[in-house]
Amino acid sequence: MSTQTEQALLDSIPTGLFIGGQWIDGETGGTFDVQDPATGAVIRTIADATPADGIRALDAAVAAQDGWAATAPRVRSEILRRAFDLVQEHKEDLALLMTLEMGKPLAEARGEVGYGGEFLRWFSEEAVRISGRYGINPEGTGHMVVSQRPVGPSFFVTPWNFPFAMATRKIAPALAAGCTVVIKPPALTPLTTMYFTKLLEEAGLPAGVVNVVQTSKSSALSAPIIADPRLRKLSFTGSTEVGRKLIAQAAQGVLRVSMELGGNAPFVVFDDADLDKAVEGALAAKFRNIGQACTAANRFIVHKDVAGEFAKRVTERVNGMKIGRGTEDGVAIGPLIDADAVAKAGELVDDAVGRGATLLAGGKALEGTGTFYEPTVLTDVVAGSAILREEIFGPVLAIATFETEEEAVRLANDTEYGLVSYVFTENLQRGQRMIDGLETGMMGLNVGVVSNAAAPFGGVKQSGVGREGGFEGIHEYLSTKYTLIPVS
């Protein structure tokens, strides 16, 4: 990828805030820098929104709400479908942009464009299928009409690790349902959302329906928006710690909330598993997005009889992974998002080794420019290790062992989180018992990637509330209204 190609793409991205259909400067003219984590270089300097800018964006969303809600479902559908088509036309630009600002390998960025685009297509189809019901009440005294209405203006806070898919996964169902949006993209990776907003403009989205306010001061901007009585919905993807604070703020206005929070996914390998499948699943579940995913396998819980062979095969594959800037051919492991992420990975590995774990591969940060950490394999990880409790968010695969099915279930469920679980077994009955027994919002049975636009994404326990995607996703943006018509 040439430097000229990269610069031309970056130069095409507006630097302002998008409010009321216009790209404008922030109230104070403040700016902040976006960096390439592979090099540390500044790639774009953009407007830094203030709390007052956030309220201006909400003003625009509120002003557009009634008109957008009254827009025919077919029209909303066609705008989303045009947006999907435009994403396909510009998929290489979107992929390159994600690699530049987030660091993931270009092949994975292309995959995210495909995945994120599917939310636009899926919810373009769901927009025309919003329905209710009609029938006589049990007493025979009246007719019941149950209808669905848009929730209203919605505020989205998206994470840095999947800058395209997390935007489309929230924006698409909101628009399909008839809700207007204020979105605050992450300060670390805002450019992809800004580029996508240009495509929404081109697709014919009316002014004020989507407003973008990037900022370096997230909590200061978010608080007054959440406190505004005109806001009716809050959706956040990020850490459980921040999610708790936002839920508390949203409670003051009794807002509808969707929270996709932290994970601590178990990856359970039974002694009857197909190890070839398990290894492929492990590599996908652990190292996709450089391990920086809430769905990443965090704790590898492997039967003692196959743990040695599983670790050997995984280590062989990990030792062959190329590390580098995501634009380079053959790179499997790009940089972590920043120096703090590198430090955290190192601390977790050092803690595990200090407690008796064996280091089979990797285990250290790379020297030089960029924030790189070697893909790492640990085995014999003992109970009490921080790496079994905390979300790693890095390319570190940590293996602990078990002996019985009951022990595997207990270890898998021994966490405050419950986003996703992975299980590998060739026993159908055992697989069903795992579906029933694991405390999780999603599960992969003999597969290492579960996300799909047509499926409900979300967790239980402290991994969040609500669902994104699937038939369930649009209902997060709809309110149910019941009307009784008496029998004359």
User: What mean pLDDT, rounded, does the chain reach?
Assistant: 97
Task: Give the whole-angstrom CA distance, residue 301 versus residue 311.
Answer: 11
Q: What is the pLDDT of residues 145-170, one digit of tens each?
A: 999 999 999 999 999 999 999 999 99
pLDDT digits (tens, 9 = 90+) for 342-400: 999 999 999 999 999 999 999 999 999 999 999 999 999 999 999 999 999 999 999 99
Which CATH number belongs to the domain containing residue 151 in this structure?
A: 3.40.605.10
Are 239 and 346 in a shared domain?
no
- Interval 286-312 mean pLDDT: 97
Which pLDDT score is estimated for 485?
A: 97
Average pLDDT over residues 438-457: 98
Q: What's the pTM?
A: 0.96
In a domain, 461, yes or no: no
**Mean pLDDT value across residues 205-213:** 98
pLDDT bucket at 216, cuts 50 / 70 / 90: very high
Note whether 190 and 202 are same-domain residues: yes
Q: Do 269 and 244 share a structural domain?
A: no
What residues are annotated to the active site?
260
DSSP state letters, 213-271? ---S-HHHHHHHHHH-TT--EEEEES-HHHHHHHHHHHHTTT-EEEEE----EEEEE-T
pLDDT band, residue 448 (cuts 50/70/90): very high
In which band, very low, low, confident or very high, does the pLDDT at 2 lie, cut at 50, 70 and 90?
A: confident
Would the pLDDT of 132 be above 70? yes
Q: Tell me the average pLDDT across 241-262.
A: 97
Q: Which of 260, 293, 316 represents a domain boundary (last residue)?
A: 260
- Considering the domain architecture, whether residues 199 and 276 belong to the same structural domain is answered as no
> Pick from 342, 352, 403: which is nearest to 378 by CA?
352
For the chain, the C-alpha Rg in angstroms (whole number) is: 23
Q: Which of 260, 291, 310 is the last residue of a domain?
A: 260
Residue 488 lies in a domain: no
- CA-CA-CA-CA dihedral for 443, 321, 164, 259, to nearest 10: 40
- pLDDT at position 3 is 82
Q: Is residue 223 part of a domain?
A: yes
Task: List the CATH number of the domain containing 399.
Answer: 3.40.309.10
Q: Are 397 and 352 in contact (CB under 8 A)?
A: no
Residues 194 and 97 in one domain: yes
450 domain-assigned = no
Domain count, the chain: 2
**Is residue 456 one of the residues assigned to a domain?**
no
Tens of pLDDT, residue by residue over 185-195, are: 999 999 999 99
Residues 278, 252 share a domain: no
Judge whether residue 1 has pLDDT over 90: no
State the residue range of the domain holding 415.
Answer: 263-443
Report the pLDDT averaged over residues 205-233.
Answer: 98
Q: Which residue has the higher pLDDT, 1 or 46?
A: 46
d(CA 422, CA 417): 14
- Environment class of 16 (CB within 10 Å of its CB; exposed 0-12, middle 13-18, buried 19+): middle
Let me know whether 238 and 382 are in one domain. Answer: no
How far apart CA 180 and CA 183 sit, in angstroms, is 10
Average pLDDT, integer, range 423-447: 98
Residue 488 has pLDDT above 90, yes or no: no
Same domain, yes or no: 215 and 284 = no
For residue 120, pLDDT beyond 90? yes
